[in-house]
Copies of this chain bind each other. A is one copy, B any other.
């Protein structure tokens, strides 16, 4: 299948998230317009995305939620699970760890790294914390292909460079520092200050 646009991948992930909660609530079928309204988008957008991944319901009773979840998984998940590590087990690292662990069967959180001796060698928020100096060994040994970066800003660049050198193929950067990676590595950055400033901007504009 042709590589999907990033936006579509995001929406597919979101579809699956809400579909999984619907399953747990006992729902079996869903119409495009229902799914759309849950995501604040249009029904056409939903149908278009599903067309892109070649899913078609056949019946006119909406989509079979289980089949749809499975189809989305076949498209966006890796066939063999990918291993993930968190670097920097501070406030955010621990929050992410306890939240993310076990959420997706095709993404295994297998390690965390820190340079604080109080933390290394222990299991923190459900995952073993290694000394950051062991990063090279462990990335190779555990075949870690994705890192979530939550170290202090001053260490972000060097830590990322190291991880890439050791073979990591994807980086989710939560630090405030904008990073650089070679084109063979996929980088996604998120800064919550940007999100809240965006909210603030539209609030400001609406109450003017």
By a beta-carbon cutoff of 8 Å, the part of chain A in contact with chain B is: 3-4, 6, 9-10, 13-14, 17-18, 21, 38-40, 76-79, 82, 84, 90-92, 94-96, 98-100, 103-104, 106-107, 125, 145-146, 148, 153, 169-172, 176-178, 184, 186-188, 190-207
Contacts and interface: CB of A to CB of B under 8 A. Distances in A.
Contact of A82 (B13, B98, B200): B200
Closest 10 CB pairs of A and B: A91-B95, A170-B203, A186-B202, A78-B204, A170-B199, A13-B197, A13-B194, A92-B95, A169-B203, A95-B95
A84 B196 contact: yes
Contact of A201 (B39, B76, B84): B76
* Identical copies in the complex: 2
Given A14-B194, A21-B176, A39-B178, 9 more contacts: A9-B202, A13-B191, A17-B191, A21-B153, A94-B95, A169-B206, A169-B207, A171-B199, A186-B199
A199 B91 CA distance: 22
Contacts of A145: 203, 207
Contact of A206 (B91, B186, B192): B186
A169 B201 CA distance: 11
A196 B107 CA distance: 9
A201 B9 CA distance: 8
A139 to B, nearest CB: 14
B146 A99 contact: no
B172 A199 contact: yes
B196 A148 contact: yes
